[in-house]
Amino acid sequence: MRYSTLLLTLLAASSGSVASGDTPNERAPDPNRGLYAIWAKPQQQNLPFLKGGQICLQWKEVQPGPDRYDFSKLDAALVELHAARRPATVQINGNRRPAFLFQQVPYHPEKLSVQVGDKQGTLMFWHPAHMQAYLGLIEAYGRHLRHSPYKDAVLGVRLNFNSIGTEHLHVEAANRDLEQGIIPPGVLPGTEGSRQALEA
């Protein structure tokens, strides 16, 4: 069996609190230390030498409409992990955004990063409507995990660290002109402050 697509990460063995009776320089092993499968195929997640894995969903999958969230796929995965006592990181990517945002937010007709997965192009992440929607997602996501009866299976939470939905922070100068954007009917374009955020 080939494991070329399996990426493993190792938690530091030194993490944890000082064990009772040990010297100050010795720490108790972290119960969650071990090998974790990241970006692995489903059949690879259950390899016997793995401590845990990863749950990865798209923003589009968990928000079917404005102020509507559906975390059922996340819950189903957490139930399995909880039963198997296998912790995992949880990630909701922004590579594919909810379709309704393309009626609320101006967008560039091209994909400004190879990681953008929306056919329509790249939403103007600096637009107030997009920022509000993204913050709403984070709030709903955190609230759902906080009240989940299976939250003990969550080792950590990951998100794309920029609002484009990628790990790329730079937008080429040729694509920074707000006039290039497609503005849906009834939507106001971004402000000068939004332009500065793009060019920062």
Q: What is the pLDDT of residue 178?
A: 67
- Residue (of 61, 68, 113) closest to 92 by Cα position: 61
Strands 7-10 and 122-123: unpaired
Residue 2 lies in a domain: no
Q: How confident is the model at residue 195 (pLDDT cuts 50, 70, 90)?
A: very low
- Residue (of 137, 143, 195) closest to 163 by Cα position: 137
Q: Measured between alpha carbons, how far is 17 from 98 in angstroms, rounded to an integer?
A: 42
Q: Measured between alpha carbons, how far is 108 from 112 in angstroms, rounded to an integer?
A: 8
- Residue (of 123, 99, 122, 124) closest to 112 by Cα position: 122
Residue 102 lies in a domain: yes
Residue 4 lies in a domain: no
Q: Measured between alpha carbons, how far is 37 from 57 in angstroms, rounded to an integer?
A: 15
Residue 163 lies in a domain: yes
Q: Indicate if the pLDDT at residue 155 is higher than 60.
A: yes
- Domain residue limits at 108: 52-199
97 exposure class (CB count in 10 Å sphere: 0-12, 13-18, 19+): buried
The structure tokens listed for 169 are 């922070």
Residue 92 lies in a domain: yes
Residue 15 lies in a domain: no
The number of distinct structural domains making up the chain is 1
pLDDT tens-place string over residues 45-76: 778 888 888 899 999 999 999 999 999 999 99
pLDDT tens-place string over residues 85-124: 889 999 998 889 999 999 998 898 988 888 889 999 988 8
Q: Measured between alpha carbons, how far is 72 from 37 in angstroms, rounded to an integer?
A: 22
Which segments of 61-166 are extended strands (E)? 88-93, 107-108, 122-123, 154-159
Residue 130 lies in a domain: yes
Who has greater pLDDT, 172 or 93?
A: 93
Q: What is the pLDDT of residue 69?
A: 97
Residue 155 lies in a domain: yes
